[in-house]
Structure 1
Amino acid sequence: MMIRLDKFLTETGSLTRSQAKEAAKKGRILVNGEAEKKTDRKIDPEKDEIVLDGKRISYAAYEYYMLNKPKGVVSATEDKKYPTVVQLIQDRKRTDLFPAGRLDIDTEGLLLITNDGELTHNLLSPKKHVDKVYLAEFEGVFPEDGKEQFQAGLILEDGVKTMPSHIIVNGNQARLTIKEGKFHQVKRMFQAVGCQVTYLKRLSMGSLTLDENLKPGEYRPLTNEEIESLKQQ
């Protein structure tokens, strides 16, 4: 894959296009050991060696990170008030990463951070019926026929009916599997049966399961096996 040198530098977060042009004029950019003055030249990121100010720049066309999202962080690329999930990925190579879906600011657990738009679309599309599993703690008395109500599909307060879901309840804890992701859906589903969610954590999405070794706020790159498995959803 051939791309422009300035595009390579911007996608890796190294320089803006105007900064790249200035850096090239000053001989700060080396391509395969030689100073490159033209930033519109085409390079092969997988074969050519690009060095900026003596430091080699690594490149990845796509990146995939598993994040254990903590509370107090928003599922966004930027926010004026709160830190974002993308900001937690300190060693990312690209500047175009985004969360695949959203978790509420007070919700913890599995979140995929990537720049693969096609994969994200497939994971989030209701037509794909990708399972999303949550652990919930709640207040209130869960109705005797609650499991059947979840299985049949619940009518939310705005009149929208959810797709059938599966729930296992143990005391004030529940493990819920849904195939869609409407706004505040899990909390609204519990409200529909007279309960209030007090804690929520996503455990898995499709074939991807939260690594139990990741503490809230920690992340790791996906393995090749995990990436391939997600693409086969």
Structure 2
Amino acid sequence: MKATLRLDKLLSHTGFGSRSEIKLLVKKGLVMVNDRLVKDSGVQVNPGRDRITVDGEAVQYREFIYLMLNKPQGVISATEDTRDRTVIDLLDASHAHFEPFPVGRLDKDTEGLLLLTNDGKLAHNLLSPRKHVPKTYFAEVEGAVTEEDAEAFARGVALDDGYVTMPARLNILATGNPHTGQVSKIELTIMEGKFHQVKRMFQAVGKRVVFLKRISMGTLLLDEHLSPGEYRELSETELLQLQQANAGGTDIHTPNGIRE
């Protein structure tokens, strides 16, 4: 956290309005710092040391916010878009004013775990290719997914552009039947995040994903109580585990236990 910052920026960041609205609050004599009326909304304050109140309400400043979202289908992983609804549109104003962004992306038709934060350092660590942060997906796949597919994924498969994926772990929950239309149900853990990777991996073995949901990212597990479109803040334990697992120099392991 910065030692000092402008009062109007701090109050805007904590949901008290725009800078012009905060300037009006100051003009009305409603803002105090250390029990003294403020006359300039641009004054420098120390959020860790100074006591700030607005109309008698103590201001609780937070620099960062961390949200777990169960992204629904039909919503895109972006901060803004001129055509489609974005994940930011799902947030209450009390969280949106922190200007969080999605850490990575899920396809428009994919649902599940998506982390939203304004902590650029943590986001960088989670997305860094050298960290190989594991991501696990639940999927329904047309046809019969076999152990041969699992062995191919464990070796790495060549995608349509020639890229060979890192080893991935495929867990078959239920084998489908192409004659009856019954789909296979699987969990797949990958160590990278190429464009449409899960769908393209199954295409590489002649199968098609018809439903996809991310259930974990690193140490973070999707809260089963969150319905699609719902979100909550991370618990202190969840945040600490994410920060520790993705601190500089931390080794990340592949699903097969091979250190990268």
Residue 122 of structure 1: SS of its match in structure 2?
helix
What TM-score, normalized by structure 2, do the two folds share? 0.81
Pick one of 171, 180, 197 that aligns with 1:168: 171
Structure 1 vs Structure 2 CA RMSD: 2.1
Following superposition, the deviation at residue 35 of structure 1 comes to: 3.0
Q: Is the 8 A contact 1:58 1:93 kept in 2?
A: no
Cross-structure match for 1:114: 117
Q: Deviations over 1:60-102 (max 9, x none)?
A: 1111111111112111111222222123231317432111111
Q: How far, CA to CA, are the matches of 1:3 and 1:64 in structure 2?
A: 21
Cross-structure match for 2:29: 27
Alpha carbons of 1:34 and 1:82: their partners in 2 closer, same or farther (altered >3 Å)?
Answer: farther
1:229 equivalent in alignment to 2:241 = yes
Q: How far, CA to CA, are the matches of 1:9 and 1:51 in structure 2?
A: 10
Q: How far, CA to CA, are the matches of 1:48 and 1:93 in structure 2?
A: 25
Following superposition, the deviation at residue 135 of structure 1 comes to: 0.2
Cross-structure match for 1:219: 231
Residues 169-188 of structure 1 correspond to what in structure 2 (within 5 A)?
169=172, 170-171=174-175, 172-188=184-200
Tell me how many residue pairs correspond in the alignment.
233
Residue 187 of structure 1: SS of its match in structure 2?
helix
Q: Is the 8 A contact 1:13 1:93 kept in 2?
A: no
Residues 1-233 of structure 1 correspond to what in structure 2 (within 5 A)?
1-52=3-54, 56-90=58-92, 91-92=94-95, 94-142=97-145, 145-169=148-172, 170-171=174-175, 172-233=184-245
State the one-letter code of the partner of 2:101.
Answer: F
Following superposition, the deviation at residue 12 of structure 1 comes to: 2.9
Alpha carbons of 1:80 and 1:54: their partners in 2 closer, same or farther (altered >3 Å)?
Answer: farther
Q: Is the 8 A contact 1:143 1:193 kept in 2?
A: no
Deviates most, 180-189 or 57-66:
57-66
Alpha carbons of 1:80 and 1:14: their partners in 2 closer, same or farther (altered >3 Å)?
Answer: farther
Q: How far, CA to CA, are the matches of 1:38 and 1:232 in structure 2?
A: 41
Following superposition, the deviation at residue 156 of structure 1 comes to: 1.0
Q: Is the 8 A contact 1:59 1:93 kept in 2?
A: no
State the one-letter code of the partner of 1:182.
Answer: K
Q: Is the 8 A contact 2:64 2:98 kept in 1?
A: no
Following superposition, the deviation at residue 124 of structure 1 comes to: 1.5
Alpha carbons of 1:69 and 1:5: their partners in 2 closer, same or farther (altered >3 Å)?
Answer: same
Following superposition, the deviation at residue 42 of structure 1 comes to: 1.5
Following superposition, the deviation at residue 143 of structure 1 comes to: 5.5
Following superposition, the deviation at residue 52 of structure 1 comes to: 4.1
| Structure 2 residue runs without a partner (length 5+) | 176-183, 246-260
Q: Deviations over 1:116-148 (max 9, x none)?
A: 111111111221121100001011343552112
Determine what percentage of the aligned residue pairs are the same residue: 52
Following superposition, the deviation at residue 21 of structure 1 comes to: 3.5
Q: How far, CA to CA, are the matches of 1:131 and 1:183 in structure 2?
A: 16
Residue 136 of structure 1: SS of its match in structure 2?
strand
| Structure 1 residue runs without a partner (length 5+) | none
Alpha carbons of 1:53 and 1:104: their partners in 2 closer, same or farther (altered >3 Å)?
Answer: farther
Alpha carbons of 1:20 and 1:10: their partners in 2 closer, same or farther (altered >3 Å)?
Answer: same
Residue 242 of structure 2: SS of its match in structure 1?
helix
